[in-house]
Structure 1
Amino acid sequence: MTASLWLFVELECATRSPLVAAACCFNRGLVKLCAGHGSVLNENGEVEMDASIMNGKDLSAGAVSAVRCVANPIKLARLVMEKTHHCFLTDQGAAKFAADNGIPAIPGEQLVTERNKKRLEKEKHEKCAQKSDPQKSLGTVGAVAVDCRGNVAYATSTGGIVNKMPGRVGDTPCIGSGGYADNDIGAISTTGHGESILKVNLARLTLFHVEQGKTLEEAAEASLGYMKSKVKGVGGVIVVNKAGDWAVKWTSASMPWAAAKDGKLHSGIDLSDTSITDLP
C-alpha cells in the first residue's frame, strides 16, 4: 500500500484528550499523504475524500464521504460528531454543513498535485493494458490514541483509490470498517482495499476477536487473515487497548507506521524494518 501512515499516541492525563490527539495528527502535514491536499484522483481527475472519527468513551462518532472542497475532512467529521445528532454526512449535504460551520471551501484544483495527475494517467494506461491492480493504488492516514484513564479514540481519513468512479465510497468513513473505538475493548484504524474491508467489517471484526480473549496481535492476524482468505483483500491495522498495549499488522508488501509510548517512538515500513528512537 502506498502513502499509509499510522500513529499511536499514549497521552499523559494532563494533556489533551485522545480524541483531540487523534484528530490533531492530521494537522501536521500528514494529510498530504492521501487525505487532503495530495489525495489520489478519481477517473475525472478530481479529489473526493472520506473521513471518520470516534470517541470510545461514549461511542459518539462522525463521518463524511465524497467531500470535494475541504482541506481537512477529519475536521468536518469531528464537527458532525460534536454538532449534529447524526453520524454520517455525504457529498452536498456535507459541503453545506461545512459552510454553515465556518469551514472554508477551497477550489478543488488546489487539492490536486502533479504527482497524482501522473499516478492517474499511469493507472488509466495500466487499466487499458489490463495490468491494473486497484489494491496497489490506495493510501490512508489513520490514528489511534489512549490516555492514562483508558479513554481511547480513532480517526481515519483518505482520498480513496486512484481512478475510482465519482461518488465511490470505501471503508474509511464507515464506522466498524475504517475504524472503531470502545473504552471497554480498544481503538483501531484500518487501511487497505476498501471494498474488501467493507465486506468483512475489518475494524469491528478485529475488536470482536479481542473481546473473545485473543491478544491484540492474534486478533489483528486473525481478521486480516480472514479478509485475505475470504475476499483476497490486503490491508493493515493499528490497534490499542485501554491499558496502552498496541499492535500493528499488515498483509500488504509494506505499510509506513509509527507508535509513540513511554517517551519512545517506534516506527517502520517493511516487516523487517523497525526502529526505536527517543521522542524529543
Structure 2
Amino acid sequence: MNPVVVVHGGGASSISCDRKERVRQGIVRAATVGHNILREGGSAVDAVEGAVTALEDDPEFNAGCGSVLNMNGEVEMDASIMNGKDLSAGAVSAVRCIANPIKLARLVMEKTPHCFLTDQGAAKFAAAMGIPEVPGERLVTEKNKKRLEKEKLEKGAQKSDCQKNLGTVGAVALDCKGNVAYATSTGGIVNKMAGRVGDTPCIGSGGYADNNIGAISTTGHGESILRVNLARLTLFHIEQGKTLEEAADLSLGYMKSRLKGLGGLILINKTGDWVARWTSASMPWAAAKDGKLHSGIDLDDTTVTDLP
C-alpha cells in the first residue's frame, strides 16, 4: 500500500494575504512531517500525531500554542485520535497547560481503559505520564488577546458563531500496512464560555477511522458538526456506495442546509484515495502521496510540487 497523509488547518471566513503564505508553509510542513514518518515505516497513528503536533506548534493555527481564548482570556484545548485497525480512540477536552493535546489524547488511547478524559482528570493523567506543564501565559499570544477584545466588542449576541471561528487542525493517514488513522486538535471558539467543548474531541463528530472504510477529520462550527455527527455521517455515505466527493458534499451540504453550519473535512478511503472539501470561504489543506505534495487554501487554488 502506498502511504498517504492529508492535513487541514481549519476552515476560515477569510485569510489575509500576508497570512496566506505563512499558513501555506505551515500546512505543507505538517504534511511533510507526516509523510516522512510513513516513509520511514511509521504507522498511520504515528503520522497523524506527528502532523498535528507540527500544527499545534505553529502559532498560525488555532491549536496548541495558537489557540484562541475563552471569555476569561484563557486557553482551553480539545483533541482526539483514532486507530482504524482496532477502533481504539483517545480524546481530551478543556486541557489548559500542555503544549500538545494530541499527544495526551494518544496516551489516553494507549495507556488507559478509557476513551475520553477532561479538565482536571486529564491534567492529573498528563502529570502522571510525565508530560511537562506549560505556564498558561506561554500559550496566550498577543494576536489572540486582540482577537478576543475585538470579538467582545463586535459580538453583543452569538449570531456570528456559524460563520466564524472555524479553526481546527487535523490529519488523516494510510500506512503501508493498510491501516488508517485520524487526529484532530483545536483551541475552540473565540470568546467561548469556560468549559465549552465542541466537536473536536468527540469520536464520530470531530473525526473517525475504520480500516474497513477510511478516515476523516472535520473542521467548522462545532455545535453544528456535533448535531449531525459529521465524521460518521460522511463515512456512512461511503458505506452506501457514494464516491468520496459525493459523501463529503452530501454531509457538508446537509449540515449547511439544515443548520446553516459551515465546515470542511479531509477524507481518505481504505485504498488511499482522498479529498479535501469545505463550505467555508477557505480551508488550508495539504496531501502527500506518490512523491507529490498537493496543497491549497481557497477553491480552485491547488499547488503540486515534488516531495523533498
* 1:241 equivalent in structure 2: 269
* 1:16 equivalent in structure 2: 42
Q: Distance in 2 between matches of 1:120 and 1:137?
A: 11
Instruction: State yes or no: 1:28 paired with 2:54.
Output: yes
Residue ranges of structure 1 left out of the alignment (5+ in a row)? none
Q: Distance in 2 between matches of 1:48 and 1:138?
A: 16
Identity of aligned residues (%): 75
TM-score by length of 1: 0.95
Q: Label 1:200 to 1:29 Cα distance change in 2 as closer, same or farther (>3 A).
A: closer
Q: Distance in 1 between matches of 2:122 and 2:294?
A: 36
Q: CA deviation at 1:29?
A: 4.7
Is residue 13–residue 149 contact of structure 1 (8 Å, CA) maintained in 2? Answer: no
* 2:124 equivalent in structure 1: 96
SS of the equivalent of 1:124 reads helix
* 1:133 equivalent in structure 2: 160
* 1:71 equivalent in structure 2: 99
Q: Distance in 1 between matches of 2:218 and 2:87?
A: 18
Residue ranges of structure 2 left out of the alignment (5+ in a row)? 1-10, 16-22
Instruction: State yes or no: 1:50 paired with 2:92.
Output: no
Matched pairs, number = 279
Decide which structure has greater strand share: 1
SS of the equivalent of 2:197 reads coil
Q: How does 1:104-143 map to 2 (within 5 A)?
A: 104-128=132-156, 133-134=160-161, 135-143=163-171
Q: How does 1:186-197 map to 2 (within 5 A)?
A: 186-197=214-225
Alignment partner of 1:259 out of 287, 294, 300: 287
* 1:86 equivalent in structure 2: 114
Is residue 53–residue 102 contact of structure 2 (8 Å, CA) maintained in 1? Answer: no
Q: Distance in 1 between matches of 2:44 and 2:38?
A: 10
Is residue 252–residue 264 contact of structure 2 (8 Å, CA) maintained in 1? Answer: yes
SS of the equivalent of 1:276 reads strand
Deviation beyond 6 Å, 4+ runs, structure 1 = none
Alignment partner of 2:183 out of 143, 155, 159: 155
* 1:201 equivalent in structure 2: 229
TM-score by length of 2: 0.87
